A and B are shown apart, each in its own frame.
Chain A
Amino acid sequence: DAGVTQSPTHLIKTRGQQVTLRCSPKSGHDTVSWYQQALGQGPQFIFQYYEEEERQRGNFPDRFSGHQFPNYSSELNVNALLLGDSALYLCASTPRGSRIPLHFGNGTRLTVT
């Protein structure tokens, strides 16, 4: 039973470019959340998707957008990359409304140069 899988594991982009990160939730999970973790910091909530719609959003600009597909997988898109977007991007999944623990993937390390 695969857990949460994210791709790619590492990515290097240039300032101003656009990037797409991908996440497949754990089997049986339909809710996907994205977090940004800067070096030495705790993760910060970006947004959450279920039923293919953004349901909740943290304090991130519109340059951060997402999508959820019918198979519950999700993408995080970041436009007009800034140096400050360099971080570990984590995807987490749960069954909707569940009280079970949040399951995280291993993340995508994005470096913006």
Chain B
Amino acid sequence: KQEVTQIPAALSVPEGENLVLNCSFTDSAIYNLQWFRQDPGKGLTSLLLIQSSQREQTSGRLNASLDKSSGRSTLYIAASQPGDSATYLCAVRPILNAGNQFYFGTGTSLTVIP
């Protein structure tokens, strides 16, 4: 069974700092990997989707990389802002019985201090 781990569980940084969030998964047979943002008590907002054949995706100040062979993905946030404060979740979609069954990590809670 696929297991997804996110480190660190919580992170607090001053505004303007660049930061990296880590995600690791146990089974490299994935269809794609998706990073989400979740504000307290809210649903998930998709940030970046990386297909298994891709190495990275970029959107604005966000860059996500994927190393499928080592079972790792990173989310890089440049020039962090207080509005970036949220929980960041990564999720992998397995190749077998893909459907819409994503396996999620428990998230990294990010606080950006003004």
Q: Which residues of A contact B (CB under 8 A)?
A: 4, 6, 31, 33, 40-45, 48, 55-56, 58, 88, 90, 92, 94, 99-107, 109
Contact = CB atoms under 8 A, between A and B. Distances in A.
B101 A48 contact: yes
Interface of B: 4, 32, 34, 36, 41-46, 49, 51, 89, 91, 97, 99-107
Q: What 6 A-B pairs are tightest by C-beta distance, nearest first?
A: A42-B104, A101-B46, A33-B100, A56-B99, A106-B43, A104-B44
Contact of A104 (B43, B99, B105, B106): B43
A42 B89 contact: yes
Given A56-B99, A58-B101, A43 B44 contact: yes
B16 to A, nearest CB: 28
Most buried by B among A6, A94, A103, A104: A104
Most buried by A among B91, B99, B104: B99
Contacts of B42: 106-107
